[in-house]
Amino acid sequence: MTTDKKKKQSRPGWDEYFINIAKAVSARATCLRRKYGAVITKDKIIVSTGYNGAPSGMKDCLEAGKCTRKELQIPHGERYELCHSVHAEANAIIRASADELSGATIYIAGEDNGLGECLSEPCMMCKRIILNARIKKVVYSDGNGKYHIISPARWLKKRV
């Protein structure tokens, strides 16, 4: 028989719970390089999810069987304007209302195709979108089974 204390220890905290859901959402991604998932919550309720993939109606990289950035050997984190995908964070944000986003938390998790979990810090473009959405907390996987928790207000101290 388990005690109440043991039950509480085996139950994940809210951040771990939602980051794991973001990992599950990333399975829908259509990128050949990396798969990302994002979950937006407010008051511990999921208000939106998103994954990286081509805009609605456009052929995605899985369907096309190629990645322009990969073909051009562009390193991760560079030249996103050549990417055909909308990032997971942006997809989650555009599917939520301004009221749902203000004061919300976004969870971001990713996987390097075939290599396992990867660092999932938002790119510069997504940082600006997160700031404009007035999201107050960002939780992203560190690529090693843990996660970082930050306030987007920190990004205001330097130009993003």
Task: Kindly write down the DSSP assignment for every residue of the chain, as one continuous string.
Answer: ---HHHHHHHSPPHHHHHHHHHHHHGGG---SSEEEEEEEEETTEEEEEEE-BPPTTS--HHHHT--HHHHTTPPTTS-GGG--SBPHHHHHHHTS-HHHHTT-EEEEEEEETTTEEEB-PPPHHHHHHHHHTT--EEEEEBSSS-EEEE-GGGGGGS--
**89 noted as active-site residue:** yes
16, 63, 81, 89: the active-site residue: 89
Active-site annotation, residues: 89
